[in-house]
């Protein structure tokens, strides 16, 4: 069966520090991968998605970037964090005719 792993679960980082969040999917190949951010009272906002290795689409202009170095690995990064980057980050995957499956999320607090 397919599983999705996301880490770390929580992270506290100072303003201006770098960020790297990792997500991996097991038990499938060539999934579509997604990074969502959830801010309090604002629902889920799609940040990036990828339909293949090295293919990244950005949905909103921001201080973050994403990369997909391997088929089942999706990384969210920042060179310098802002206070506004705080939130709950969710990785997800899907394939044709399957619903979106989410990881357990990373709670990022920028101080």
Partner 1 sequence: AQSVTQLGSHVSVSEGALVLLRCNYSSSVPPYLFWYVQYPNQGLQLLLKYTSAATLVKGINGFEAEFKKSETSFHLTKPSAHMSDAAEYFCAVKDSGGNTGKLIFGQGTTLQVKP
Give the residue with the Cβ less far from partner 1, 55 or 63: 55
- Per CB under 8 A, the list member of 22, 46, 65, 67 interacting with partner 1 is 46
Give the residue with the Cβ less far from partner 1, 44 or 62: 44
Q: How far is the CB of 93 from partner 1 (least distance, A)?
A: 9
Q: How far apart are CA 41 and CA 111, in angstroms?
A: 20
Q: Does 90 bind partner 1 (CB under 8 A)?
A: yes
Q: Label residue 46 exposed, middle or buried (CB < 10 Å: 0-12, 13-18, 19+).
A: middle
CB-based contact 49:32 (threshold 8 Å): yes
Do strands 87-94 and 32-38 pair parallel, antiparallel, or not at all (unpaired)? antiparallel
- Provide the mask over 5-44, with x wherever binding to partner 1 is found by CB under 8 A and - wherever it is not: -x-------------------------x-x------xxxx
Quickly tell me which residue has 């997909």 as its tokens.
Answer: 68
Q: Does 54 bind partner 1 (CB under 8 A)?
A: no
């Amino acid at each position: 069966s397919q599983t999705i792993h996301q880490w770390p679960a929580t992270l506290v980082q100072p303003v201006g520090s770098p960020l790297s969040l990792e997500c991996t999917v097991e038990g499938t190949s060539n999934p579509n991968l997604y990074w969502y951010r959830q801010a309090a009272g604002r629902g889920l906002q799609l940040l990036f998605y990828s339909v293949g290795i090295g293919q990244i689409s950005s949905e909103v202009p921001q201080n973050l970037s994403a990369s997909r170095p391997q088929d089942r690995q999706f990384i969210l990064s920042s060179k310098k964090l802002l206070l506004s980057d705080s939130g709950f980050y969710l990785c997800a995957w899907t394939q044709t005719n399957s619903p979106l499956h989410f990881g357990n999320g990373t709670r990022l607090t920028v101080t």
